[in-house]
Amino acid sequence: MSDLDSQLDKLFKAASRAPRETSCELPYGFETRVLAAWAASPAEEISLLAFFQRALLACLAVMALTLAYSYGNWNNTVSSNPLYAMTDSAVDSAVDISLP
Amino acid sequence: MQACVERAKQRDETAARELMQQLYPLVLKLVRGHLPRRTGEEDLCQMIFIKIFQNLEQYSGKVPVEHWVSRIAINTCLNQLQSEKVRPELRWADLSEEEATVLQNLSEKSDAPSIAEAIASREVVDKLLGELQPQDRLVINLMHIEGYSLQEISQITGWNTTLVKVRAFRARQRLKNVFNQLMAEGKL
């Protein structure tokens, strides 16, 4: 251990022996101030949380509607397209022929 | 204590007051050890307790309440310290007569220090620690002044023991540099 290290340790040791303030009593009105701040702030947090929850639900609902609409559109396109209809009919015929 | 927390979660004011009375000495001890220069002890304690109650719902009971509270207290102190500007470089001229004497006598073999010497030593250490980053200051204080073990520091801060070891080593190196510069100045 270097000289510097030992001097530093000696300083720490001496510092740790310094008397501390021992008063641990709650200051006057402390509890009331904390409780008042607690009562005031969580309401805001809860409403913010509720707002985000509602926003998330609304987003999910919009997503579901969009998906349903897109699926419906795609389905209509597939069934109304003559090319798809011809292919379907050819496949159906082939299946009918191959089946006994 | 656990029952008290559960009752406080249900917004029971009596339980909240009881919790504050039980936890105040612990919070005060941590605040006094890591008090930022420009924040009052009472203001910081109040800030910590408000945070504790605001986050009470998140307390799962997996760790003792004291550890959970210690982490909130220490993080609040660290945030407060980080918001403060860095103190200008510590010079020998910044030391009081008693503080300078303490440093000059360090190389001499002496018995237990007197109360006055211990207080002056604590003030020198505070000034030296003021030159470090908040996390370095915290780890040095907990390890060398408060005398906590690696495991205890890990529980209080939430850092793993390897991180505590690394931070303690680096913080000590930085402190040694500041101390060395100060001592060199004192010898001139």
Task: Output the DSSP codes for B80-149.
Answer: HHHHSPPPPPP-GGGS-HHHHHHHHTTTS---SPPHHHHHHHHHHHHHHHTTS-HHHHHHHIIIIIS---
Q: Are B65 and B102 within one domain? A: no
Domain-embedded: residue A53: yes
Q: Are B77 and B131 within one domain? A: no
What tokens does B117 get?
Answer: 């010497």
Instruction: Name, in order, each residue with C-beta under 8 angstroms of A96's C-beta and a sequence gap of 6 or more.
Output: none
Q: Are B12 and B30 within one domain? A: yes
In this prediction, residue B162 has a pLDDT band, given cuts at 50, 70 and 90, of very high
Q: Which residues of A touch B112 (CB under 8 A)?
A: 17
Measured between alpha carbons, how far is B108 from A11 in angstroms, rounded to an integer? 12
Is residue A61 scored above 90 in pLDDT?
A: yes
Domain-embedded: residue A10: no
* A53: containing domain: 46-100
Residue B148, domain CATH: 1.10.10.10
Q: Do A14 and B113 touch (CB under 8 A)?
A: yes
Q: Are B12 and B59 within one domain? A: yes
Measured between alpha carbons, how far is A99 from A92 in angstroms, rounded to an integer? 11
Q: Are B60 and B145 within one domain? A: no
User: Does A48 lie at the interface with B, CB-CB under 8 angstroms?
Assistant: no
Q: Are B105 and B182 within one domain? A: yes
Nearest-CA distance A60 → chain B (Å)? 26
Q: Are B182 and B107 within one domain? A: yes
Listed residues B53, B70, B86: the one ending a domain: B86
Q: How many domains does chain A have?
A: 1
Q: Which tens digit of pLDDT belongs to each residue from B90-126?
A: 788 788 888 888 887 777 766 677 788 888 888 888 8
Q: Are B102 and B179 within one domain? A: yes
C-beta of residue B132 within 8 angstroms of C-beta of residue B174: yes
Q: Do A34 and B42 touch (CB under 8 A)?
A: no
More confident residue, A23 or B133: B133
Domain-embedded: residue A87: yes
Q: How many domains does chain B have?
A: 2
The beta-carbon neighbor of B28 closest among A24, A38, A41 is A24
User: Does A43 lie at the interface with B, CB-CB under 8 angstroms?
Assistant: no
What tokens does A48 get?
Answer: 């913010």
Is residue B26 scored above 70 in pLDDT?
A: yes
Q: Are B17 and B78 within one domain? A: yes
Q: Do A12 and B117 touch (CB under 8 A)?
A: no
Q: Which residues of B touch A38 (CB under 8 A)?
A: 16, 50, 53-54
The beta-carbon neighbor of B20 closest among A5, A21, A26 is A26
Measured between alpha carbons, how far is B49 from B23 in angstroms, rounded to an integer? 9
Listed residues B86, B109, B127: the one ending a domain: B86
Q: Are B97 and B78 within one domain? A: no
pLDDT score of A64: 92
Q: Are B23 and B55 within one domain? A: yes
* B56: containing domain: 2-86
Measured between alpha carbons, how far is B4 from B18 in angstroms, rounded to an integer? 7
Instruction: Name, in order, each residue with C-beta under 8 angstroms of B89's C-beta and a sequence gap of 6 or more.
Output: B131
C-beta of residue B77 within 8 angstroms of C-beta of residue B35: yes
Residue B17, domain CATH: 1.10.1740.10
Q: Are B99 and B161 within one domain? A: yes
Q: Do B45 and A30 touch (CB under 8 A)?
A: yes
Nearest-CA distance A16 → chain B (Å)? 5
pTM of the model: 0.60
What tokens does B15 get?
Answer: 């339980």
Asked if the ipTM is above 0.85, the reply is: no
